[in-house]
Chains A and B, each alone.
Chain A
Amino acid sequence: MSAFRPEGLEDTFTGTAPDEPRVAVPALGVGGWLRWAWRQLTSMRVALLLLVLLAVAAVPGTMFPQRGQDAARVTAYITAHGAVGHWLDRFGFFDVYTSAWFSAIYLLLFVSLVGCIMPRTKHHWSAMRARPPRTPRRFGRFPAQASTTVHDEPEALVRRAAAMLGRGKRYRVDVHDEGSGTWSVSAERGYLRETGNLVFHLALVGLLVAVAYGQLLHYRAQVIVVAGDGFANAETAFDTFEHGRAFDPAKLEPFTMRLDDFESRFDAASLAARDFTAHVTLTEPGAAPAARTIKVNHPLDVGGTEIYLQGNGYAPEVTVKDAAGQVAFSGPVPFLPQDQVYTSRGVVKVPDVSGGQPQIGLLGFLLPSAAEMSPDQWVSVNPEPNSPLLVLSVWSGNLGLDTGVPQNVYQLDEKGLTESKDASGKPVTLYVRPGDTVTLPDGLGTLTFDGMRRFAAFDLRKDPALAWLLTFALTALAGLATSLFVPRRRLWVRAAPSTGDQDESPTTVVTAAGLARGDDVGLAPELGRVLEAVLGSPVPVAGRPPVEEEGD
């Protein structure tokens, strides 16, 4: 039985394979080249190279902003760095983990892994049902050895050893009659070590497949809900929606959710957040509305869809009347917090003005606890809404909403707009407190700050592969631990009648040896314990270092 071994694997059980003889290039046909390439790809050295490459290739993703995490920073980076940014982009440095080179490395690694593991699995499968290898003629080369002389009869002694190894020590044993009165037992244990190794690698393949499966069938949506409002779980209700190719948006669970109340708690001294709780009412089809809470780290599970609390902030309620005195806009507008004290940025877009008038855009900040640092310099000093203040600049013209191009609701497209200026040419800034009504410049109308509501940002997500991912990950962990910590050992005990002895009582020469895969400090002591148990008295075991170091 020839053991499969990837090129370059060092293994105490099968010895080190000699280097492949160098074949002259012209002698290789296409098939030869392919075979050579395959052998190289599945060799230990290439696997090692690919692993190191993978580690190195992952690093740039921490040095450059990534589109997947923060697309806005990528755009800013490219703008700031000109040609360099452009070239980095062409080589995928802003999408490292989906770039061709990164994918190539891990795909090659997995091909190499499969090419290496499959034949090994086959070999291990047959090895597990084979008998332990025959007792070697000489024990000289083994890392653990012992010898002694006793008065027992060789066969009985060997059978005793075999029984003991098979029972108490869980070895697979094979007794050999070697002729002329000499008997030996070969024993092997720890097949689990290789099993664990194979299971670990196969589980990694399973993990990759599960990730791909999840990518195909997942969906993720984001929705911002102002307290008092709700949404239905449908594509049209979401602010953003992405899904895998195989996911059918018609299959979204038909539930509705209302944000009743949002609670937040901050540390009085450090202003750090201490708790966020969203109180919601969930209505599933055919069921009565039910009160639920969603917290950070405690998503709500609705029929496989998880709802995560991802963010929160304040939504000032404003009413804008146009020049004709008609209400052109009224309602809450979520302002996105930019820092720990909830300095929040937002835009109020008023497109529905009376005929013939310019559309209005209000751009600026909401300060939950405003304090004037210096004249006209306001900052927020606390995330709690102690003294809210809206600080807005006023734009008028065409908001550009009817161009058909989707717009970011938190940004103002300034192309068709002009900013209102005062008599001295400085931009007009409105400071509005709750309950206040201010007149908009340029005769645009009036603005009323009616009050404030909380809003919460939710992520909705379903990934059917999660259970598989967890299973494969835990299987990999178990396989890894087994492959590293279960000792694989072979022990041999030989008993031969002593030759040329003049004593009246016949003596038996007992020799024993042990071999382990990898480092195994327990090998020599184990051989010692086995011999002591079989012979009834301790026998010194000579051990030498378990691994041979290569000179390079």
Chain B
Amino acid sequence: MPPVGDLSTLLVWAAATAFTVALFAYSIDLARIADAAARPRQAARAVKTSTKANANQRVPALAGAGGPSSSYAPPLPPASEPSGAPDQGSSDAATGDAVGRSAKAEGIARSTHLLGILLLFSGIVLRGIAAGRWPTANMYEFTLVGMFVATTVLAIVQRRRVIAFLGVVVTAIAVLGLVLALNAFYVRADALQPALQSYWLVIHVGVAISATGIFTVACGTSMLQLLSAARAENRSHLEQPWSRGDVVRRSASGWRVTGPRFAWLKQMPDALHLEALSFRLNAVGFVLWTFTLIAGSIWAEHAWGRYWNWDPKEVGTFVVWVTYASYLHARTTRGWSGRRAAYLVFAGYLAVLANFTVVNLFVAGLHSYSGLR
């Protein structure tokens, strides 16, 4: 193995380590927020006053969530604070800055998260150098780049304010993905087989990976949305006795979403804003996925003389596309917006994962490029 390839692998391990530290730090932050939120009264009152002071100019939280509509200026300072510098601080307060968050943990999380992104990026670049080509040709490289996109999107979403839960979900997925890639998907950096020798490898696969990374963050956001909605509506399946297997319910009841363990949800943006954020991410992901489908068809036409052949990978991509299309329809269908639409986000993301793992590893088809046997 060429030494550059070795170095790349080391960097990926280092990135996985950095993300693990970030994961712990985000978890600690989340736990602190939960603690503070669980301690009643004072904290709650503090939040109330801080939001009331800004009630006049509340703007939807998480303004710059990475969508194309995110480029608007920070909100106007309230009339009562004419001298207030137009910095991000005032908007933080307006969105209900979480009480009890650990500045130290957040600092560590942020810096290790960024460090991880840098390490991973260098690992990917060196991998490309070692192989002498664009590094998106097999499952190992696909996973590296996908996790790079996911963690970068996370960093963009969090650029104003840390959303600890999202940090935990995405960094956990990133760590699992990277370790899985290193242990199960790893193949030697090597040149390409003739079928992959095309500039479409950069376009088609690159865009598919970006879409996957964005869908990952959107899925985490939708999870948070459901938890937040359930808590706000005081609704938990673990609250009422079950007709069968109530023992399970009682032992798990500490984990009910309405319980103290989820008190941190109070500090999160509310379900409506999370839904809006998830939609913006999914919309970008969906447009990219549509492009993936089209670019894939063009490439298939060049390579195989068939723009659409119902190859398992094509079917998987199609299923993902239709599922996210259903999600977009559900959002505007009466009785289907909100919670039910979020279920379709989960279905779509599951389809993305299955399309990547099951179809690559267990189904024979024209897209069998994992390099694994």
User: Which residues of A are at the interface with B, using a C-beta cutoff of 8 A?
Assistant: 8-11, 16, 44-45, 47-48, 51-52, 54-55, 58-59, 61-62, 66, 68-69, 96-97, 211, 220, 267, 270, 272-276, 295-299, 306, 308, 310, 459, 461, 466, 469-470, 473-474, 476-477, 480-481, 484-485, 487, 518-522, 524-526, 528-529, 532, 538-547, 549-550, 552
Contact = CB atoms under 8 A, between A and B. Distances in A.
12 contacts: A55-B351, A69-B365, A211-B308, A477-B291, A522-B72, A525-B76, A529-B73, A532-B76, A541-B57, A541-B59, A546-B272, A549-B337
A520 B330 CA distance: 18
Given A68-B309, A473-B297, A524-B59, 8 more contacts: A48-B333, A55-B323, A524-B75, A525-B73, A526-B72, A538-B77, A541-B57, A549-B271
Interface in B276-331: 276, 279-280, 283, 286-287, 290-291, 294, 297-298, 301-305, 307-312, 315-316, 318-319, 322-323, 325-326, 329-330
Contacts of B330: 48
Given A10-B332, A538-B76, A296 B197 contact: yes
Nearest to A517: B332
Contacts of A521: 59-60, 62-63, 65, 69-70, 72, 276
A547 B272 contact: yes
Contacts of B270: 545
A60 B305 CA distance: 25
B343 to A, nearest CB: 11
Contact of A44 (B291, B323, B333): B333
B276 to A, nearest CB: 4
A476 B359 CA distance: 27
Given A62-B316, A474-B294, A525 B301 contact: no
Contact of B333 (A10, A58, A466, A487): A10
Contact of A540 (B78, B287, B340, B351): B78
- A-B pairs, top 4 by smallest CB distance, nearest first, are A296-B194, A51-B326, A545-B272, A55-B322
Contacts of B359: 62
B58 interface: yes
Contacts of A459: 305
Interface bin, chain B: 35 or more
A481 B339 CA distance: 25
A539 B365 CA distance: 61
Contact of A528 (B65, B76, B195, B297): B76
B40 interface: no
Given A62-B316, A62-B359, A552 B273 contact: no
B334 interface: yes
Interface string B63-91: 10101111011011111000000000000
A138 B344 CA distance: 37
B10 interface: no
A298 B195 CA distance: 10
Contacts of A529: 73
B245 interface: no
Contacts of A485: 67-69, 283, 287
Contacts of B307: 466, 469
Contact of B194 (A8, A48, A275): A275
Nearest to B64: A521
A68 B310 contact: yes
Q: Which of B56, B270, B286, B287 has the most CB of A within 10 A?
A: B287
B240 interface: no
Contacts of A16: 334
A51 B193 contact: no
A69 B313 CA distance: 13
A552 B339 contact: yes
A319 B291 CA distance: 54
Contact of A10 (B56, B275, B337): B337
B193 A272 contact: yes
A276 B194 contact: yes
B305 A308 contact: yes
A262 B36 CA distance: 73
A192 to B, nearest CB: 14
Given A519-B276, A545-B60, A51 B305 contact: no
B208 to A, nearest CB: 15
Contacts of A546: 60, 272, 276
Contacts of A11: 332
Contacts of A550: 334-335, 337-338
A270 B329 CA distance: 48
A552 B330 CA distance: 14
B191 interface: yes
A61 B305 contact: no
Interface in B99-123: none
A97 B283 contact: no
B305 A520 contact: no
Nearest to B60: A521
B60 A524 contact: yes
Contacts of A51: 322, 325-326, 329
A484 B63 CA distance: 17
B6 interface: no
A62 B303 contact: no
Contacts of A539: 76
A44 B329 contact: yes
Contact of A306 (B305, B310, B315, B325): B305
Contact of B279 (A62, A270, A519): A519
Contact of B287 (A9, A295, A484): A484
B363 interface: yes
Given A519-B280, A552-B340, A480 B287 contact: yes
Nearest to B78: A540
Contacts of B77: 538
Nearest to B297: A473
A290 B308 CA distance: 32
B198 interface: yes
B190 interface: yes
A459 B188 CA distance: 33
Interface string B335-352: 111111000100000010
A9 B332 contact: yes
A297 B275 contact: no
Given A62-B316, A297-B198, A69 B69 contact: no
Contacts of B194: 273-276, 295-297
B275 A549 contact: yes
Contacts of A69: 309-311, 365
Given A484-B287, A538-B79, A297 B294 contact: no
Contacts of A542: 56-58
B42 to A, nearest CB: 27
Nearest to A474: B294
Contacts of A66: 310
Contacts of B229: 549
Contacts of B319: 55, 58-59
Contacts of A547: 272, 275-276, 337
A481 B371 CA distance: 35
Q: Which of B188, B229, B286, B325 has the most CB of A within 10 A?
A: B325
Interface string B190-231: 111111011000000000000000000000000000000100
Nearest to A61: B315
Nearest to A56: B319
Given A270-B190, A274-B194, A550-B335, A481 B75 contact: no
Contacts of B309: 68-69
Nearest to A52: B326
Contact of A520 (B69, B272, B273, B310): B69
A480 B294 CA distance: 13
